[in-house]
Protein backbone atom coordinates (compact mmCIF):
# COMPACT_ATOMS: atom_id res chain seq x y z
CA UNK A 1 0.00 0.00 0.00
CA UNK A 2 1.62 3.23 -1.15
CA UNK A 3 -0.27 6.36 -0.14
CA UNK A 4 1.36 9.76 0.30
CA UNK A 5 -1.59 11.70 1.71
CA UNK A 6 -3.75 11.52 4.83
CA UNK A 7 -7.51 11.84 5.14
CA UNK A 8 -7.41 11.76 8.94
CA UNK A 9 -4.67 12.41 11.49
CA UNK A 10 -4.68 11.41 15.15
CA UNK A 11 -2.24 13.91 16.62
CA UNK A 12 -0.28 14.24 19.82
CA UNK A 13 -1.30 11.08 21.68
CA UNK A 14 0.58 8.34 23.47
CA UNK A 15 0.47 5.41 21.09
CA UNK A 16 -0.12 1.93 22.52
CA UNK A 17 0.11 0.02 19.27
CA UNK A 18 -1.33 -3.37 20.27
CA UNK A 19 1.90 -5.32 19.86
CA UNK A 20 2.74 -5.29 23.55
CA UNK A 21 5.61 -2.85 22.97
CA UNK A 22 6.09 0.14 25.26
CA UNK A 23 3.95 3.22 24.58
CA UNK A 24 5.47 6.09 22.62
CA UNK A 25 4.50 9.61 21.59
CA UNK A 26 3.53 10.19 18.00
CA UNK A 27 0.90 10.79 15.36
CA UNK A 28 -1.09 8.45 13.14
CA UNK A 29 -1.97 9.17 9.52
CA UNK A 30 -4.95 7.41 7.92
CA UNK A 31 -6.06 7.26 4.29
CA UNK A 32 -8.56 5.11 2.41
CA UNK A 33 -9.43 3.08 5.49
CA UNK A 34 -5.84 2.08 6.25
CA UNK A 35 -3.07 3.35 8.47
CA UNK A 36 -0.48 5.16 6.36
CA UNK A 37 2.12 6.09 8.97
CA UNK A 38 2.69 5.92 12.71
CA UNK A 39 5.05 8.15 14.70
CA UNK A 40 6.58 10.91 12.60
CA UNK A 41 4.50 11.63 9.49
CA UNK A 42 7.42 12.36 7.23
CA UNK A 43 6.53 12.61 3.55
CA UNK A 44 2.77 12.48 4.14
CA UNK A 45 0.61 15.27 2.68
CA UNK A 46 -1.57 16.29 5.63
CA UNK A 47 -2.90 19.56 4.25
CA UNK A 48 -6.51 18.42 3.79
CA UNK A 49 -6.67 15.90 6.61
CA UNK A 50 -9.18 16.10 9.42
CA UNK A 51 -7.39 16.16 12.78
CA UNK A 52 -8.31 14.35 15.99
CA UNK A 53 -6.60 15.97 18.97
CA UNK A 54 -5.23 13.14 21.13
CA UNK A 55 -3.13 15.20 23.53
CA UNK A 56 -3.30 13.75 27.04
CA UNK A 57 -4.82 10.54 25.69
CA UNK A 58 -3.68 7.06 24.81
CA UNK A 59 -4.25 5.92 21.25
CA UNK A 60 -5.01 2.23 20.75
CA UNK A 61 -6.21 -0.10 18.01
CA UNK A 62 -9.93 -0.76 17.94
CA UNK A 63 -10.81 -3.61 20.26
CA UNK A 64 -11.84 -7.04 18.93
CA UNK A 65 -14.59 -8.92 20.79
CA UNK A 66 -14.55 -12.53 19.67
CA UNK A 67 -17.50 -13.78 21.75
CA UNK A 68 -20.77 -11.98 21.04
CA UNK A 69 -24.34 -12.85 20.10
CA UNK A 70 -25.37 -9.94 17.89
CA UNK A 71 -26.80 -12.42 15.37
CA UNK A 72 -30.26 -10.89 15.75
CA UNK A 73 -29.35 -7.34 16.74
CA UNK A 74 -27.20 -6.97 13.62
CA UNK A 75 -30.37 -7.57 11.59
CA UNK A 76 -32.65 -5.11 13.37
CA UNK A 77 -30.14 -2.46 14.46
CA UNK A 78 -27.34 -0.43 12.92
CA UNK A 79 -25.58 -0.12 16.26
CA UNK A 80 -24.01 -3.03 18.09
CA UNK A 81 -24.28 -1.46 21.49
CA UNK A 82 -23.12 -1.78 24.18
CA UNK A 83 -19.92 -3.14 22.59
CA UNK A 84 -19.36 -0.06 20.46
CA UNK A 85 -19.71 2.15 23.54
CA UNK A 86 -16.50 0.52 24.79
CA UNK A 87 -14.10 0.89 21.88
CA UNK A 88 -14.99 -2.35 20.08
CA UNK A 89 -14.65 -2.12 16.31
CA UNK A 90 -14.91 -5.83 15.36
CA UNK A 91 -17.27 -8.46 16.79
CA UNK A 92 -17.65 -12.17 16.10
CA UNK A 93 -21.15 -13.66 16.17
CA UNK A 94 -22.54 -17.22 16.03
CA UNK A 95 -20.83 -18.20 19.29
CA UNK A 96 -22.01 -21.12 21.44
CA UNK A 97 -23.41 -22.76 18.32
CA UNK A 98 -26.64 -20.75 18.37
CA UNK A 99 -27.94 -18.41 15.70
CA UNK A 100 -30.51 -18.06 12.95
CA UNK A 101 -28.99 -19.77 9.92
CA UNK A 102 -29.29 -22.07 8.19
CA UNK A 103 -33.01 -22.24 8.89
CA UNK A 104 -36.06 -23.46 7.00
CA UNK A 105 -39.29 -21.54 7.52
CA UNK A 106 -40.76 -24.38 9.56
CA UNK A 107 -37.88 -24.28 12.06
CA UNK A 108 -37.93 -20.56 12.85
CA UNK A 109 -39.91 -20.94 16.05
CA UNK A 110 -37.54 -23.65 17.25
CA UNK A 111 -34.51 -21.41 16.73
CA UNK A 112 -36.24 -18.50 18.43
CA UNK A 113 -36.98 -20.77 21.40
CA UNK A 114 -33.37 -21.91 21.42
CA UNK A 115 -32.01 -18.36 21.41
CA UNK A 116 -34.57 -17.29 24.01
CA UNK A 117 -33.46 -20.01 26.39
CA UNK A 118 -29.71 -20.06 25.83
CA UNK A 119 -29.12 -16.34 25.35
CA UNK A 120 -32.07 -14.76 27.21
CA UNK A 121 -33.41 -12.84 24.21
CA UNK A 122 -37.20 -12.47 24.50
CA UNK A 123 -39.02 -14.40 21.80
CA UNK A 124 -41.25 -11.44 20.95
CA UNK A 125 -38.16 -9.33 20.28
CA UNK A 126 -36.86 -11.84 17.74
CA UNK A 127 -40.30 -12.43 16.21
CA UNK A 128 -40.63 -8.72 15.45
CA UNK A 129 -36.99 -7.89 14.80
CA UNK A 130 -36.03 -10.65 12.36
CA UNK A 131 -37.23 -10.41 8.75
CA UNK A 132 -36.08 -13.96 7.88
CA UNK A 133 -34.91 -12.92 4.42
CA UNK A 134 -32.66 -15.98 4.32
CA UNK A 135 -32.71 -19.75 4.56
CA UNK A 136 -29.11 -20.78 3.96
CA UNK A 137 -26.15 -19.57 5.99
CA UNK A 138 -24.80 -17.97 2.83
CA UNK A 139 -28.03 -15.95 2.46
CA UNK A 140 -27.75 -14.86 6.11
CA UNK A 141 -24.25 -13.49 5.49
CA UNK A 142 -25.61 -11.61 2.48
CA UNK A 143 -28.35 -10.14 4.69
CA UNK A 144 -25.73 -8.93 7.16
CA UNK A 145 -23.63 -7.46 4.39
CA UNK A 146 -26.57 -5.51 2.98
CA UNK A 147 -27.05 -3.58 6.23
CA UNK A 148 -25.10 -0.66 7.68
CA UNK A 149 -23.37 -1.01 11.05
CA UNK A 150 -21.12 0.87 13.44
CA UNK A 151 -18.80 -2.13 13.75
CA UNK A 152 -17.25 -4.84 11.58
CA UNK A 153 -18.89 -8.26 11.92
CA UNK A 154 -17.39 -11.71 11.44
CA UNK A 155 -19.40 -14.91 11.92
CA UNK A 156 -19.19 -18.55 12.84
CA UNK A 157 -21.51 -21.16 11.35
CA UNK A 158 -23.54 -22.21 14.42
CA UNK A 159 -23.91 -25.93 15.09
CA UNK A 160 -27.43 -26.00 16.60
CA UNK A 161 -29.25 -24.52 13.59
CA UNK A 162 -27.05 -26.58 11.30
CA UNK A 163 -28.03 -29.77 13.15
CA UNK A 164 -31.73 -28.86 12.98
CA UNK A 165 -31.41 -27.96 9.29
CA UNK A 166 -29.89 -31.35 8.52
CA UNK A 167 -31.85 -33.57 10.91
CA UNK A 168 -35.13 -31.73 11.57
CA UNK A 169 -36.99 -32.97 14.64
CA UNK A 170 -34.37 -35.66 15.15
CA UNK A 171 -31.80 -32.93 15.66
CA UNK A 172 -33.93 -31.11 18.20
CA UNK A 173 -34.52 -34.40 20.04
CA UNK A 174 -30.72 -34.95 20.13
CA UNK A 175 -30.92 -38.25 18.30
CA UNK A 176 -27.61 -39.66 17.10
CA UNK A 177 -26.59 -38.36 13.68
CA UNK A 178 -26.41 -40.97 10.93
CA UNK A 179 -23.52 -41.29 8.51
CA UNK A 180 -25.60 -39.40 5.96
CA UNK A 181 -26.34 -36.64 8.50
CA UNK A 182 -22.63 -36.27 9.26
CA UNK A 183 -21.79 -36.11 5.57
CA UNK A 184 -24.32 -33.32 5.06
CA UNK A 185 -23.01 -31.40 8.06
CA UNK A 186 -19.51 -31.69 6.65
CA UNK A 187 -20.64 -30.43 3.25
CA UNK A 188 -22.52 -27.49 4.76
CA UNK A 189 -19.57 -26.61 7.00
CA UNK A 190 -17.39 -26.48 3.88
CA UNK A 191 -19.91 -24.23 2.15
CA UNK A 192 -20.10 -21.98 5.21
CA UNK A 193 -16.33 -21.46 5.26
CA UNK A 194 -16.28 -20.80 1.52
CA UNK A 195 -19.05 -18.21 1.97
CA UNK A 196 -17.09 -16.36 4.65
CA UNK A 197 -17.51 -18.02 8.04
CA UNK A 198 -14.47 -17.85 10.33
CA UNK A 199 -15.27 -21.39 11.44
CA UNK A 200 -17.94 -23.35 13.29
CA UNK A 201 -19.23 -22.91 16.84
CA UNK A 202 -20.90 -25.36 19.22
CA UNK A 203 -21.90 -25.90 22.84
CA UNK A 204 -21.91 -29.05 24.92
CA UNK A 205 -22.98 -27.24 28.10
CA UNK A 206 -25.61 -28.65 30.45
CA UNK A 207 -26.84 -25.18 31.43
CA UNK A 208 -27.65 -24.18 27.84
CA UNK A 209 -31.41 -24.79 27.54
CA UNK A 210 -34.26 -23.83 25.21
CA UNK A 211 -37.06 -21.52 26.32
CA UNK A 212 -38.95 -24.66 27.38
CA UNK A 213 -36.06 -25.81 29.54
CA UNK A 214 -35.01 -28.58 27.15
CA UNK A 215 -31.36 -29.38 26.50
CA UNK A 216 -30.02 -27.77 23.33
CA UNK A 217 -29.56 -29.90 20.17
CA UNK A 218 -25.77 -29.96 20.55
CA UNK A 219 -25.58 -30.87 24.26
CA UNK A 220 -22.72 -33.36 24.69
CA UNK A 221 -22.38 -33.61 20.91
CA UNK A 222 -20.39 -36.78 20.15
CA UNK A 223 -16.84 -36.54 18.94
CA UNK A 224 -17.66 -37.76 15.44
CA UNK A 225 -20.04 -34.84 15.00
CA UNK A 226 -17.35 -32.35 16.00
CA UNK A 227 -15.06 -34.15 13.59
CA UNK A 228 -17.60 -33.68 10.79
CA UNK A 229 -17.54 -29.92 11.37
CA UNK A 230 -13.76 -29.88 11.54
CA UNK A 231 -13.48 -32.00 8.39
CA UNK A 232 -15.78 -29.60 6.53
CA UNK A 233 -13.64 -26.68 7.62
CA UNK A 234 -10.57 -28.58 6.51
CA UNK A 235 -12.13 -29.24 3.10
CA UNK A 236 -12.39 -25.46 2.67
CA UNK A 237 -8.88 -24.72 3.90
CA UNK A 238 -9.34 -24.65 7.68
CA UNK A 239 -11.02 -22.50 10.28
CA UNK A 240 -11.76 -21.96 13.94
CA UNK A 241 -13.80 -24.29 16.14
CA UNK A 242 -15.37 -22.32 18.99
CA UNK A 243 -16.68 -24.56 21.73
CA UNK A 244 -18.41 -24.28 25.09
CA UNK A 245 -17.29 -27.41 26.97
CA UNK A 246 -19.56 -29.30 29.32
CA UNK A 247 -17.78 -28.40 32.53
CA UNK A 248 -20.16 -30.22 34.86
CA UNK A 249 -17.03 -31.94 36.09
CA UNK A 250 -14.82 -29.29 37.73
CA UNK A 251 -11.79 -31.04 36.22
CA UNK A 252 -11.67 -29.89 32.57
CA UNK A 253 -9.12 -32.54 31.52
CA UNK A 254 -11.51 -34.75 29.51
CA UNK A 255 -13.13 -31.87 27.65
CA UNK A 256 -9.79 -30.27 26.80
CA UNK A 257 -8.46 -33.66 25.64
CA UNK A 258 -11.48 -33.98 23.32
CA UNK A 259 -10.75 -30.61 21.77
CA UNK A 260 -7.07 -31.47 21.47
CA UNK A 261 -7.90 -34.64 19.50
CA UNK A 262 -9.99 -32.66 17.03
CA UNK A 263 -7.27 -30.02 16.67
CA UNK A 264 -4.66 -32.75 16.13
CA UNK A 265 -6.59 -34.53 13.39
CA UNK A 266 -7.88 -31.57 11.36
CA UNK A 267 -6.51 -28.18 10.21
CA UNK A 268 -8.46 -26.17 12.76
CA UNK A 269 -7.68 -24.05 15.77
CA UNK A 270 -9.90 -24.34 18.84
CA UNK A 271 -10.99 -21.59 21.18
CA UNK A 272 -13.14 -22.54 24.15
CA UNK A 273 -14.81 -21.13 27.22
CA UNK A 274 -12.27 -21.32 30.02
CA UNK A 275 -12.80 -21.37 33.75
CA UNK A 276 -10.37 -20.44 36.48
CA UNK A 277 -11.87 -22.83 39.04
CA UNK A 278 -10.07 -22.97 42.35
CA UNK A 279 -6.75 -24.00 40.77
CA UNK A 280 -5.91 -21.93 37.68
CA UNK A 281 -2.63 -23.78 37.38
CA UNK A 282 -4.46 -26.93 36.26
CA UNK A 283 -5.96 -25.27 33.19
CA UNK A 284 -2.64 -23.57 32.49
CA UNK A 285 -0.92 -26.95 32.61
CA UNK A 286 -3.36 -28.48 30.15
CA UNK A 287 -2.86 -25.59 27.75
CA UNK A 288 0.91 -25.85 28.01
CA UNK A 289 0.79 -29.59 27.35
CA UNK A 290 -1.29 -29.44 24.20
CA UNK A 291 0.11 -26.19 22.84
CA UNK A 292 3.54 -27.73 23.36
CA UNK A 293 2.44 -30.44 20.92
CA UNK A 294 1.81 -27.74 18.32
CA UNK A 295 -1.97 -27.60 18.74
CA UNK A 296 -3.79 -24.28 18.58
CA UNK A 297 -5.92 -24.39 21.73
CA UNK A 298 -6.90 -21.09 23.33
CA UNK A 299 -9.08 -20.66 26.42
CA UNK A 300 -11.32 -17.59 26.54
CA UNK A 301 -11.39 -15.86 29.92
CA UNK A 302 -13.57 -13.08 31.24
CA UNK A 303 -11.57 -10.37 33.06
CA UNK A 304 -14.07 -9.78 35.87
CA UNK A 305 -16.54 -12.06 37.68
CA UNK A 306 -18.75 -14.06 35.32
CA UNK A 307 -22.18 -13.39 36.65
CA UNK A 308 -25.69 -12.13 36.28
CA UNK A 309 -27.52 -9.00 37.32
CA UNK A 310 -30.65 -9.64 39.37
CA UNK A 311 -33.42 -7.30 40.45
CA UNK A 312 -37.10 -6.49 40.05
CA UNK A 313 -36.41 -4.59 36.84
CA UNK A 314 -34.57 -7.41 35.01
CA UNK A 315 -35.20 -11.05 34.03
CA UNK A 316 -34.53 -12.79 37.34
CA UNK A 317 -34.42 -12.05 41.04
CA UNK A 318 -34.11 -14.36 44.07
CA UNK A 319 -37.89 -14.84 44.16
CA UNK A 320 -38.70 -15.10 40.42
CA UNK A 321 -39.12 -18.86 40.61
CA UNK A 322 -41.38 -18.83 43.67
CA UNK A 323 -45.04 -19.55 42.97
CA UNK A 324 -46.05 -16.57 45.08
CA UNK A 325 -44.14 -14.18 42.81
CA UNK A 326 -46.43 -14.95 39.88
CA UNK A 327 -48.95 -12.33 41.02
CA UNK A 328 -46.26 -9.66 40.62
CA UNK A 329 -44.75 -10.85 37.36
CA UNK A 330 -46.73 -8.58 35.02
CA UNK A 331 -46.71 -5.45 37.18
CA UNK A 332 -44.58 -2.37 36.52
CA UNK A 333 -41.37 -2.36 38.54
CA UNK A 334 -42.37 0.37 40.98
CA UNK A 335 -45.69 -1.36 41.64
CA UNK A 336 -43.89 -4.65 42.29
CA UNK A 337 -41.73 -2.90 44.89
CA UNK A 338 -44.76 -1.33 46.52
CA UNK A 339 -46.64 -4.63 46.69
CA UNK A 340 -43.61 -6.24 48.30
CA UNK A 341 -44.00 -3.93 51.28
CA UNK A 342 -46.95 -6.08 52.33
CA UNK A 343 -45.73 -8.09 55.38
CA UNK A 344 -47.93 -11.04 54.44
CA UNK A 345 -46.45 -11.28 50.94
CA UNK A 346 -42.95 -10.93 52.36
CA UNK A 347 -43.54 -13.77 54.80
CA UNK A 348 -45.02 -15.91 52.04
CA UNK A 349 -42.11 -15.42 49.65
CA UNK A 350 -39.46 -15.86 52.33
CA UNK A 351 -41.03 -19.17 53.37
CA UNK A 352 -41.34 -20.55 49.84
CA UNK A 353 -38.74 -22.72 48.08
CA UNK A 354 -38.24 -21.69 44.43
CA UNK A 355 -38.51 -24.26 41.63
CA UNK A 356 -35.46 -24.25 39.35
CA UNK A 357 -36.33 -27.45 37.46
CA UNK A 358 -36.55 -25.82 34.03
CA UNK A 359 -33.55 -23.54 34.43
CA UNK A 360 -30.87 -24.96 36.76
CA UNK A 361 -28.70 -21.89 36.18
CA UNK A 362 -31.32 -19.77 37.93
CA UNK A 363 -30.19 -21.27 41.24
CA UNK A 364 -27.46 -18.66 41.09
CA UNK A 365 -30.10 -15.98 41.62
CA UNK A 366 -30.01 -17.09 45.27
CA UNK A 367 -26.24 -17.30 45.62
CA UNK A 368 -26.23 -14.78 48.45
CA UNK A 369 -22.58 -15.43 49.35
CA UNK A 370 -21.61 -14.06 45.94
CA UNK A 371 -24.38 -11.47 45.51
CA UNK A 372 -23.35 -7.80 45.74
CA UNK A 373 -25.57 -4.69 45.60
CA UNK A 374 -24.62 -2.39 42.72
CA UNK A 375 -24.00 1.27 43.44
CA UNK A 376 -22.13 4.14 41.78
CA UNK A 377 -18.43 3.39 41.48
CA UNK A 378 -19.04 -0.34 41.97
CA UNK A 379 -15.81 -2.33 42.20
CA UNK A 380 -16.01 -5.45 40.04
CA UNK A 381 -13.70 -7.12 42.53
CA UNK A 382 -16.07 -6.72 45.51
CA UNK A 383 -15.21 -7.51 49.11
CA UNK A 384 -16.73 -10.45 50.99
CA UNK A 385 -18.16 -8.12 53.64
CA UNK A 386 -20.22 -6.37 50.95
CA UNK A 387 -22.10 -9.52 49.94
CA UNK A 388 -25.79 -9.93 50.68
CA UNK A 389 -24.95 -12.85 53.00
CA UNK A 390 -22.47 -10.73 54.99
CA UNK A 391 -24.87 -7.80 55.17
CA UNK A 392 -27.59 -10.15 56.40
CA UNK A 393 -25.34 -11.54 59.13
CA UNK A 394 -24.51 -8.01 60.27
CA UNK A 395 -28.23 -7.20 60.51
CA UNK A 396 -29.17 -10.50 62.11
CA UNK A 397 -31.57 -11.51 59.33
CA UNK A 398 -31.57 -14.28 56.75
CA UNK A 399 -29.80 -13.65 53.42
CA UNK A 400 -33.13 -14.02 51.62
CA UNK A 401 -34.66 -11.28 53.76
CA UNK A 402 -31.71 -8.98 53.15
CA UNK A 403 -32.09 -9.54 49.41
CA UNK A 404 -35.85 -8.97 49.64
CA UNK A 405 -35.36 -5.64 51.37
CA UNK A 406 -32.69 -4.53 48.90
CA UNK A 407 -34.93 -5.34 45.94
CA UNK A 408 -37.51 -2.82 47.12
CA UNK A 409 -35.03 0.08 47.25
CA UNK A 410 -35.20 2.95 44.76
CA UNK A 411 -38.75 2.01 43.70
CA UNK A 412 -37.55 -1.47 42.75
CA UNK A 413 -34.66 -0.31 40.58
CA UNK A 414 -31.93 -1.67 42.86
CA UNK A 415 -29.77 -4.20 41.01
CA UNK A 416 -27.31 -6.76 42.36
CA UNK A 417 -24.45 -8.65 40.74
CA UNK A 418 -24.12 -12.39 41.32
CA UNK A 419 -20.50 -13.49 40.78
CA UNK A 420 -21.01 -17.03 39.47
CA UNK A 421 -17.60 -17.71 37.99
CA UNK A 422 -14.00 -16.46 38.22
CA UNK A 423 -14.66 -15.61 41.84
CA UNK A 424 -14.54 -18.81 43.87
CA UNK A 425 -11.78 -17.38 46.07
CA UNK A 426 -13.40 -13.98 46.48
CA UNK A 427 -10.83 -12.22 44.29
CA UNK A 428 -9.68 -12.00 40.69
CA UNK A 429 -6.17 -13.19 41.48
CA UNK A 430 -6.71 -16.48 39.63
CA UNK A 431 -7.95 -14.57 36.58
CA UNK A 432 -4.82 -12.43 36.71
CA UNK A 433 -2.63 -15.52 36.69
CA UNK A 434 -4.33 -16.91 33.60
CA UNK A 435 -4.51 -13.59 31.75
CA UNK A 436 -0.73 -13.71 31.66
CA UNK A 437 -0.76 -17.07 29.87
CA UNK A 438 -0.07 -17.30 26.11
CA UNK A 439 -2.84 -19.89 25.79
CA UNK A 440 -5.63 -17.59 27.00
CA UNK A 441 -7.49 -14.71 25.40
CA UNK A 442 -10.03 -12.25 26.77
CA UNK A 443 -13.59 -12.96 25.66
CA UNK A 444 -17.04 -14.07 26.86
CA UNK A 445 -18.61 -10.60 26.93
CA UNK A 446 -21.78 -12.03 25.30
CA UNK A 447 -22.89 -8.71 23.78
CA UNK A 448 -26.32 -9.06 22.20
CA UNK A 449 -27.39 -11.83 24.57
CA UNK A 450 -28.77 -12.18 28.08
CA UNK A 451 -30.26 -8.76 27.50
CA UNK A 452 -31.87 -8.45 30.91
CA UNK A 453 -29.44 -10.61 32.90
CA UNK A 454 -25.94 -9.35 32.15
CA UNK A 455 -24.12 -6.43 30.56
CA UNK A 456 -20.65 -7.90 30.25
CA UNK A 457 -19.85 -6.38 26.84
CA UNK A 458 -18.45 -3.44 28.83
CA UNK A 459 -15.39 -5.50 29.80
CA UNK A 460 -12.84 -3.45 27.75
CA UNK A 461 -13.51 -0.50 30.03
CA UNK A 462 -13.13 -2.73 33.10
CA UNK A 463 -9.76 -3.94 31.83
CA UNK A 464 -8.51 -0.39 31.38
CA UNK A 465 -9.91 1.02 34.62
CA UNK A 466 -9.68 -1.89 37.04
CA UNK A 467 -6.74 -3.92 35.78
CA UNK A 468 -4.58 -1.10 34.43
CA UNK A 469 -5.40 1.98 36.49
CA UNK A 470 -7.07 1.17 39.81
CA UNK A 471 -6.22 -2.30 41.11
CA UNK A 472 -4.00 -2.20 44.17
CA UNK A 473 -2.10 -5.39 43.33
CA UNK A 474 -1.31 -7.35 40.20
CA UNK A 475 -1.99 -4.48 37.83
CA UNK A 476 -1.54 -5.03 34.09
CA UNK A 477 0.72 -2.65 32.12
CA UNK A 478 -1.23 -0.64 29.57
CA UNK A 479 0.71 -2.10 26.64
CA UNK A 480 -0.18 -5.64 27.67
CA UNK A 481 -3.84 -4.78 28.32
CA UNK A 482 -4.24 -3.26 24.86
CA UNK A 483 -2.57 -6.29 23.28
CA UNK A 484 -5.08 -8.51 25.12
CA UNK A 485 -8.03 -6.39 23.93
CA UNK A 486 -7.00 -5.90 20.32
CA UNK A 487 -4.24 -7.90 18.67
CA UNK A 488 -4.43 -11.15 20.61
CA UNK A 489 -8.15 -11.80 20.01
CA UNK A 490 -7.76 -10.79 16.37
CA UNK A 491 -4.96 -13.33 15.92
CA UNK A 492 -6.93 -16.02 17.78
CA UNK A 493 -9.68 -16.02 15.16
CA UNK A 494 -7.47 -15.32 12.15
CA UNK A 495 -8.21 -11.61 11.64
CA UNK A 496 -4.60 -10.59 11.10
CA UNK A 497 -5.36 -7.34 9.28
CA UNK A 498 -6.35 -5.52 12.49
CA UNK A 499 -5.45 -5.02 16.14
CA UNK A 500 -2.16 -3.20 15.42
CA UNK A 501 -1.36 0.47 14.80
CA UNK A 502 1.06 -0.02 11.96
CA UNK A 503 1.21 1.03 8.34
CA UNK A 504 -1.03 -1.11 6.15
CA UNK A 505 -3.37 -2.29 8.90
CA UNK A 506 -7.05 -1.42 9.16
CA UNK A 507 -7.62 2.08 10.45
CA UNK A 508 -9.59 1.04 13.53
CA UNK A 509 -8.48 3.32 16.36
CA UNK A 510 -9.51 4.48 19.84
CA UNK A 511 -8.51 7.76 21.46
CA UNK A 512 -8.93 7.30 25.22
CA UNK A 513 -8.70 9.60 28.21
CA UNK A 514 -7.55 6.91 30.61
CA UNK A 515 -7.51 9.12 33.69
CA UNK A 516 -11.02 10.38 33.02
CA UNK A 517 -12.45 6.97 32.15
CA UNK A 518 -15.38 5.70 34.21
CA UNK A 519 -17.87 2.86 33.85
CA UNK A 520 -21.55 3.57 34.45
CA UNK A 521 -23.87 1.19 36.26
CA UNK A 522 -26.02 -1.15 34.14
CA UNK A 523 -29.38 0.47 33.47
CA UNK A 524 -32.49 -1.24 32.03
CA UNK A 525 -33.83 0.44 28.87
CA UNK A 526 -36.63 -0.54 26.48
CA UNK A 527 -35.20 0.00 22.99
CA UNK A 528 -35.45 -3.51 21.55
CA UNK A 529 -38.08 -4.52 18.95
CA UNK A 530 -41.57 -4.89 20.45
CA UNK A 531 -40.43 -2.67 23.34
CA UNK A 532 -38.14 -5.37 24.70
CA UNK A 533 -35.89 -4.40 27.58
CA UNK A 534 -32.17 -4.80 28.04
CA UNK A 535 -29.37 -3.65 30.29
CA UNK A 536 -27.21 -0.86 28.93
CA UNK A 537 -23.85 0.13 30.36
CA UNK A 538 -21.95 3.10 28.99
CA UNK A 539 -18.61 4.69 29.80
CA UNK A 540 -16.87 8.04 29.78
CA UNK A 541 -13.34 8.48 28.51
CA UNK A 542 -13.65 7.34 24.90
CA UNK A 543 -12.76 10.60 23.17
CA UNK A 544 -13.07 9.08 19.71
CA UNK A 545 -13.58 5.70 18.06
CA UNK A 546 -12.49 5.35 14.44
CA UNK A 547 -13.61 2.48 12.19
CA UNK A 548 -12.13 2.00 8.75
CA UNK A 549 -10.85 5.57 8.85
CA UNK A 550 -14.22 7.08 9.79
CA UNK A 551 -14.98 8.64 13.18
CA UNK A 552 -17.98 6.71 14.47
CA UNK A 553 -18.11 8.03 18.04
CA UNK A 554 -16.97 11.28 19.68
CA UNK A 555 -17.07 11.43 23.47
CA UNK A 556 -19.46 8.50 23.47
CA UNK A 557 -21.88 10.07 21.00
CA UNK A 558 -22.49 8.56 17.54
CA UNK A 559 -21.43 10.71 14.60
CA UNK A 560 -23.78 9.02 12.15
CA UNK A 561 -20.98 7.24 10.28
CA UNK A 562 -21.75 3.54 9.75
CA UNK A 563 -18.78 2.09 7.86
CA UNK A 564 -18.96 -1.38 9.43
CA UNK A 565 -18.49 -4.29 7.04
CA UNK A 566 -19.08 -8.02 7.02
CA UNK A 567 -15.69 -9.69 7.33
CA UNK A 568 -15.75 -12.75 5.11
CA UNK A 569 -13.36 -15.34 6.45
CA UNK A 570 -9.92 -15.13 7.94
CA UNK A 571 -7.77 -12.17 6.91
CA UNK A 572 -4.06 -12.11 6.10
CA UNK A 573 -1.41 -9.73 7.35
CA UNK A 574 -1.34 -6.57 5.20
CA UNK A 575 1.32 -6.66 2.50
CA UNK A 576 2.79 -3.38 3.72
CA UNK A 577 3.45 -4.99 7.11
Q: pLDDT tens digits, residue range 119-140?
A: 778 888 998 999 999 999 999 9
Report the alpha-carbon distance of residue 197 to residue 193 in Å, rounded. 5
Residue range 143-166, pLDDT digits in tens: 999 999 999 999 999 999 999 999
Report the alpha-carbon distance of residue 253 to residue 264 in Å, rounded. 16
Rounded to whole angstroms, what are the CA distances from 50 to 47, 327, 457? 9, 58, 30
Rounded to whole angstroms, what are the CA distances from 301 to 276, 428, 520? 8, 12, 22
Residue range 222-244, pLDDT digits in tens: 899 999 999 999 999 999 999 99
Q: Which of 313, 329, 325 lies closest to 349 in space, CA to CA? A: 325
Predicted local confidence at residue 358, as pLDDT? 80
DSSP assignments along 241-294, one per residue:
EEEE--TTSS--HHHHHHHHHHHHHSSEEEEEE----S-HHHHHHHHHHHHHTT
Q: Count other C-beta atoms under 10 Å from residue 180's C-beta.
A: 10
Judging by beta carbons within 10 Å of its beta carbon (0-12, 13-18, 19+), is residue 475 exposed, middle or buried? middle
Q: Count other C-beta atoms under 10 Å from residue 302's C-beta.
A: 24
36: pLDDT confidence band, cut at 50, 70 and 90? Answer: very high
Predicted local confidence at residue 187, as pLDDT? 98
Predicted local confidence at residue 341, as pLDDT? 95
Predicted local confidence at residue 155, as pLDDT? 98
Percent of the chain exceeding pLDDT 90 equals 80
pLDDT above 90 for 46: no
> Is the preceding omega at residue 82 within 30 degrees of 0, hence cis?
yes
Q: What angle do helix axes 399-407 and 343-351 make, rounded to 10 degrees?
A: 140
Domain boundaries of the chain, sorted by first residue: 8-56+505-520+540-558, 64-304+424-492, 312-421
Residue range 513-542, pLDDT digits in tens: 999 999 999 999 999 999 999 999 999 999
Judging by beta carbons within 10 Å of its beta carbon (0-12, 13-18, 19+), is residue 557 exposed, middle or buried? exposed
Of 234-238, 353-357, 369-373, 496-500, the poorest mean pLDDT is in 353-357
Residues in CB range of 222: below 8 A, 6 or more apart: 176, 177
Q: Which of 454, 562, 448 lies closest to 72 in space, CA to CA? A: 448
DSSP state of 533: -
64-304+424-492: CATH, from 3.40.190.80, 3.40.50.300, 3.20.20.140, 3.40.50.12590: 3.20.20.140
Q: Which residues of 264-299 are buried (b: 16+ CB within 10 A; e: fewer)?
A: eebebbbbbbbbbbeebebbbebbebbbeeebbbbb
| CA dihedral (547, 553, 556, 558) positive or negative | negative
Q: Please calculate the CA angle 475-479-481 and round it to the nearest 5 degrees.
A: 55
pLDDT above 60 for 332: yes
Alpha helices in 99-217 (DSSP H): 108-119, 123-129, 137-145, 159-167, 169-172, 179-195
Predicted local confidence at residue 276, as pLDDT? 58
pTM: 0.94
Mean pLDDT of the chain: 93
Q: What is the mean pLDDT of residues 104-113?
A: 89
pLDDT above 70 for 278: no
Predicted local confidence at residue 210, as pLDDT? 67
pLDDT above 90 for 575: no
Using DSSP's 3-state secondary structure scheme, residue 442 falls into strand
- For domain 8-56+505-520+540-558, give the fold: Urease, subunit C; domain 1 (2.30.40)
Amino acid sequence: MTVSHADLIVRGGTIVDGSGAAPFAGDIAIAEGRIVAVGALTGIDCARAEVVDARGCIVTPGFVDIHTHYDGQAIWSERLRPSTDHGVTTVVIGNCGVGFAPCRAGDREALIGLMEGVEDIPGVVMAEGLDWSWESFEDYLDALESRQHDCDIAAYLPHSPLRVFVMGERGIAREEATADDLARMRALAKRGIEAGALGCATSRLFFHRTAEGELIPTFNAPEEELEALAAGMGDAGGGVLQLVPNFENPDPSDEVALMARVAADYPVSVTFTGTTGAEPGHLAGLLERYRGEGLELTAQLFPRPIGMVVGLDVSWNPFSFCTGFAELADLPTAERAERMRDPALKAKLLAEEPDFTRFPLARQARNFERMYPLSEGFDYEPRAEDSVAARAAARGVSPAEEAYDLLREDDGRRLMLVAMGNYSTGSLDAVGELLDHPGTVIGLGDGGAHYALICDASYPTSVLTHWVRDRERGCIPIERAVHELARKPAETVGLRDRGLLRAGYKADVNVIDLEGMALSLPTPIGDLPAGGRRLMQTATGYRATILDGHITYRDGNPTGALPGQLVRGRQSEPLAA
